[in-house]
Chain A
Amino acid sequence: METILEARGLTKVYHTGAAPTAALRGVDLAVRRGEFVSVMGPSGCGKSTLLYLLGLLATPTEGTVILANTDTGAISDGRRTLLRRHHVGFVFQRFNLLAALSAEENVALALRLRHEAVQSRAREMLAAVGLDDERRRRPGELSVGEQQRVAIARALVTRPDVLLADEPTGNLDSEASERVLDLIGRFHQQSGQTVVLITHNEKVAERAERLVRMRDGRIAGN
């Protein structure tokens, strides 16, 4: 299997406080197409920073990310945006649905950003996550579990090469967590969706094919 996403010597140093803080220290990680990888570690170990770097939302202090055979180390911000738009889907701990839009419009928005036809695919995706009947509801009218399923539909409706999930069950009860993880697992198994899932929960991490452990900004086990 080809490598769809690769981190080479990723280092990220923040200069927000009195002294520079290294969130990542030379992380190497390769994710093959169709693979389901969990990145696990305690709070503050750099998991989310790694996710943001892998998703091209942030730029590393050192090192590079190779996404879909493109070395993103020296490309413009505009090209990084395009790569992200066409190859990455994000799911966040706090769902981050747009409050003013219905479930269907939230999903369709991801397609609209790509100037693609929206209506039927957004509905199909909502049906795939079991929310066809809730498509006209706004996020505030949905349960937290339903909101996260809409977020998954939004992330996957564009058929991204990689789904990056940052603590997707962090705000859910156990039942909703199971359902969301089942859903991600189903997309992985049925469609060969590549998944990188960040978690601090051992049980959640065990859902993946491969477990990467992080500590103090480094890969501690792979």
Chain B
Amino acid sequence: MACLPLANIFARKTRTTISVLAVGVGVALFLVLVGLTSMLREIADRTTNVQAHLMVWPASDQVVLSGGLPADKVQGDLKAIPGVARAVAVLRWPLKMAGRVQNVYGIRPEDWDLFAGPDRMVEGRALKGGDEMVIDTRLARAGGYRLGDAVERWGHRFTIVGIAREGIAGRVFLPIETVSRATDQDRLRASFFYVRVARPADVQPVRQAIEERGLRAITFDEYYDVLAGSFVDMNLVIGSVVFVAGFVCFLVILLTVYTMVIERTREIGVLKAMGASRAQVFGLVMAEAGLICAAGIVAGFLLTWGSRALILDLQPLWTVDIPAVRFAYAAALAAGGTALGALHPARRAARQDPVESLRYE
């Protein structure tokens, strides 16, 4: 019995190929989109990969958007709160490098230790001041930057003095004074602050004290939710793609198997004449759909692998991480769509009247 579904799908190579590809596209669509959403996680992971406990920014902002806080005054206020060990001002500003807009992290050079230890430096050294720039390895790779290269922006000529292993908060670091001056700020401003508390137990009291001063303070654990919340339609998009991917599998399998059942009406009659039970006929049809689905899943994985490689080649700064569990989820989605799609035609085949089937022209 095992050979019949296999023989049938090989007997209709074009239809099988199209069906397999359609299932594969559904699987790949789902996986690539899920992979692309990992960019958000990567940004959140980087942003919170700092030796601090809280992020602070103006209460009026949903996320860090502006350079609206007076750096020295707010820093002084934060340091005055009992339990605060350090308050680090960051002026985040867009700068185009490697063909894409990067968020420059303007920081005081003495605060570098909160962002990366000495072992994080792959080449060169940390910031000291002036028109110095530190970038991460990923940006260096994407833009072809090397230690000592000059980068001309905002009418300044920045020199890359260090390259740090990727995973640090920003891809580009400059001294905060340099960013402030280069972007024509009237005084030193900050987009947000990292706050390190003396003891972990101080986090909540410090947070409360900060919020009493009209600022927003969130823990790193909350940051991903805040970031995801700024992409309010993301879950809707993911949900839509999951639905489309599942529906594509369902529709393709339904049409394929339905056509197959109609086309093989006589054969089903013959099988019944030979003593095939309803369950056996049902099983044969489902097995054929299952084989198409299995091949479609494999094709989908290959398409995903190819698409991911292509995306990363074209956009090296993008992140397309797909955890193994998502592959299992995609396979389950395709299998579910297939089972639903094949169910009706398989039942129809199983219930076909053998005499009518044998007389079918």
Residues of A within 8 A of B (CB): 52, 55, 57-58, 77-78, 81-82, 84-86, 88, 90, 92, 96, 98-101, 105, 108-110, 112-114, 154
Contacts and interface: CB of A to CB of B under 8 A. Distances in A.
B257 to A, nearest CB: 15
B280 A113 contact: yes
Contact of A109 (B1, B277, B278, B358): B1
B328 interface: no
Contact of A113 (B11, B269, B274, B278): B274
B1 A113 contact: yes
Q: Kindly state the interface size class of chain B when it binds its partner.
A: 20 to 34
Given A52-B355, A58-B355, A100-B4, A110 B274 contact: yes
Nearest to B264: A98
Interface in B253-304: 266-267, 269-278, 280
Given A52-B355, A92-B358, A57 B8 contact: no
B1 A99 contact: no
Given A109-B1, A109-B4, A100 B358 contact: no
B273 A84 contact: yes
20 contacts: A52-B354, A58-B354, A82-B277, A85-B274, A90-B270, A92-B358, A96-B270, A96-B358, A98-B270, A99-B11, A100-B4, A100-B8, A101-B3, A101-B4, A108-B3, A109-B271, A109-B274, A110-B275, A113-B271, A154-B274
A77 B278 CA distance: 9
A113 B276 contact: yes
A98 B280 contact: no
A117 B358 CA distance: 27
Given A109-B4, A112-B1, A100 B11 contact: yes
Contacts of A109: 1, 4, 271, 274
B81 to A, nearest CB: 78
A113 B278 CA distance: 12
A152 to B, nearest CB: 13
A78 B8 CA distance: 26
B355 A57 contact: yes
Contacts of A114: 275
Contacts, number: 76
Contact of B3 (A55, A105, A113, A154): A105
B132 to A, nearest CB: 71
Contacts of A78: 277-278
Contacts of B10: 100
A16 to B, nearest CB: 10
Nearest to A97: B270
B7 interface: yes
B276 to A, nearest CB: 5
B1 A96 contact: no
Interface in B333-361: 353-355, 358
B242 to A, nearest CB: 35
Interface centre among B276, B278, B280 (most CB of A within 10 A): B276
Contacts of B3: 101, 105, 108, 112
A113 B355 CA distance: 19
A85 B271 CA distance: 10
B332 to A, nearest CB: 30
A77 B351 CA distance: 11
A85 B270 contact: no
Contact of B275 (A58, A86, A99): A86
Interface centre among A52, A77, A92, A109 (most CB of B within 10 A): A109
